[in-house]
Structure 1
Amino acid sequence: MAEFTLHIGNKCFSSWSLRPWVAMRHLEVPFEEGFVRLRTSETFANLAKVSPTGQVPVLNHNGRIIWETLAILEYLADLFPEKKLWPADIGARALARAAATEMHSGFREVRYGWPMNLRRPKGYKPLDAEGEAQRARIEALWRECREKYGKGGPFLFGHFTAADAMYAPVVTRFDTYGGELAPDTRAYVDAVLAMPAMRHWYAEAAKEPWPEPGPDE
Structure 2
Amino acid sequence: MATPHAEYGIVVNPEKTLANFEAAIGTHKIPRHAGEDFPYCGVTINTTDLQLGKDRQKKDLVVAHGLTVDTTKRLGMAFARKVRLSFVQQLHRMLMDDELNQPWRRLLTLLEAFEETAMKMYQYVRNLPKGRQPSPIQMIRVVGELGRLGLRNGRSGCKGSSDQTASCLSRREIIWALSSAFLHVFGKKQAQHGALLEHLRLLKTASQHGLRVDNSRLRQLLVQRDATFVDYVY
**How does the TM-score come out when normalised to structure 1?**
0.35
**How does the TM-score come out when normalised to structure 2?**
0.33
| Relative contact order, higher structure (CA 8 A, sep 6+) | 1
